[in-house]
Amino acid sequence: MAIELKVPSLGESITQATIGAWLKREGEPVAADEPLVEVESEKATVAVPAPATGVLRRVLRRTGETVAIGEVIAELEEGGAPAAAPRAAAGGNGASTGSTSPSSPRSGEGQGEGTATKRDVEASPSPPRSEADGRGEGAPRHLTPAARRLAAEHGLAGAAAAAGGAVRKEDVLRALEAPRPPVTPGAAPPPGGAESRGAPAPGPRERLVAMTPLRRTVARRLLEAQQNAAILTTFNEVDMSAVLALREKHGEAFQARHGVKLGFMSFFVKASIEALRAFPAVNAEVRGDAIVYKDHYDVGVAVGGGKGLVVPVIRDADQLSFAEIEKTVGELAKKARDNRITMEDLSGGTFTISNGGIYGSLLSTPILNPPQSGILGLHKIQKRAVVGEGDRVEVRPMMYLALSYDHRIVDGREAVSFLVKVKECIEDPERMLIEV
């Protein structure tokens, strides 16, 4: 029995998505709930599972194509047997099961072994199998995970290439470095490319790559944040000596007991919650002509993923222990790297923490994540000379903190006091234990 594979609902207000990498080819067997294809929406990439055990009979939409929610993108044969591979042309009796035109070179002819061209990488996810000469030439290839990620980052729909074996990361790099054919003025642009959406043709030594849906959404939301909020940033610095000493003293025991490292994020999540309780306007949002104050603390943590920066949310962070926060952050970061972040993971945050320090940033002005009214930016820990007690100059591990806030509902006094509260909690972590 034929079963239709449809684009699932990806969240409220999302009406279309983009087909990502096909994880199975036509004719291959699939198991129930096995991932078949990646579908990328404005906010996340999800893997669509097989609705039943069977065979993937037809792929109806290719990688890179835009599809509507609920649209049929493939057909499965429930319980069917895999399609038989085409037989090579029979020899000796003049009969054959197929023929190849002398003027049409076989797939892979004229290329070095194991090398994919840009045209190869951008091929259909399920290309028709050519008649082979008995050596397996012409069989479709699949992309390794590293190659698939790199192809997606550069707007190449990766799924198949010529000449047996897998498409590796090095193959995609060579394809990207290969010179592009010149664009003839007035010529029709290639289908599905950025040119077809009104972008100008690239010049010499330029590459035109269409934005992914996620990148388009990030760009749109950043502009909305700057246009719809009165963003202001205030700064402070914090001495990390106490936190570093605690991690040095209890780090091994913490990991042995909880199975996770004691990182910095749990300290800053806890410190931020203490500050949000003291200054609730930073945890609020503007809704029309009203202010919504929130007595729950769902803290978003910016992490780098396979599709770019995303902000998954730690739910009810005020009710979690240090170990539970570290485990949750680790799980969300892994989901982001594996492109398994869901809409539920990303929605509903009340405050955000962004740690640019892991990339070496010394100071920055983070942009609000609407409709939130506050975002805390963490930065690189750097040893600096500071004046301590008794006017002694000492070398301390220091970090700059930045709080960007919506000045429409957060006053400067509240913002500065918020950062001071965070500073106090980090420089004296015991304050968070006894809630002072």
What CA–CA distance (Å, rounded) separates 65 from 191? Answer: 10
Q: Read off the pLDDT of residues 355-399 as tens digits, 9 standing for 90 and up.
A: 999 999 999 999 999 999 999 999 999 999 999 888 999 999 999
The number of beta carbons lying within 10 Å of the beta carbon of residue 72 is: 13
Label residue 232 exposed, middle or buried (CB < 10 Å: 0-12, 13-18, 19+).
middle
Task: Output the CA torsion 146→30→132→147 (10° steps).
Answer: -10
DSSP 3-state of 196? helix
CATH 3.30.559.10 in the chain: give the residue spans: 231-434
- Give me the pLDDT at residue 48, please: 87
| CATH node for 2-78 | 2.40.50.100
CATH 2.40.50.100 in the chain: give the residue spans: 2-78
Lowest mean pLDDT among 171-185, 212-226, 293-307, 370-384: 171-185
Tokens of 217: 């959404």
Residue 179 has pLDDT above 90, yes or no: no
pLDDT band at 38 (very low <50, low <70, confident <90, very high): confident
Q: Read off the pLDDT of residues 227-280 as tens digits, 9 standing for 90 and up.
A: 899 999 999 999 999 999 999 999 999 999 999 999 999 999 999 999 999 999
pLDDT band at 210 (very low <50, low <70, confident <90, very high): confident
**What would the mean pLDDT of 144-162 be, rounded to a whole number?**
55
Share of the chain above pLDDT 70, in %: 70
CATH topology assigned to domain 231-434: Chloramphenicol Acetyltransferase (3.30.559)
**What would the mean pLDDT of 313-329 be, rounded to a whole number?**
96
Predicted TM-score (pTM) of this structure: 0.62
> What average pLDDT does the structure give for the chain?
78
Q: Read off the pLDDT of residues 107-126 as tens digits, 9 standing for 90 and up.
A: 334 443 444 444 444 444 44
Which residues are catalytically annotated?
Answer: 407, 411
Pairing of strands 54-59, 29-30: antiparallel
- Give me the pLDDT at residue 101, please: 40
DSSP, res 285: E
How many helices and strands (H and E) does the chain possess? 10, 19
Which contacts qualify for 294-298: CB closer than 8 Å, 24 or more apart? Answer: 294/350, 296/350, 297/273, 297/350, 297/351, 298/348, 298/349, 298/350, 298/351
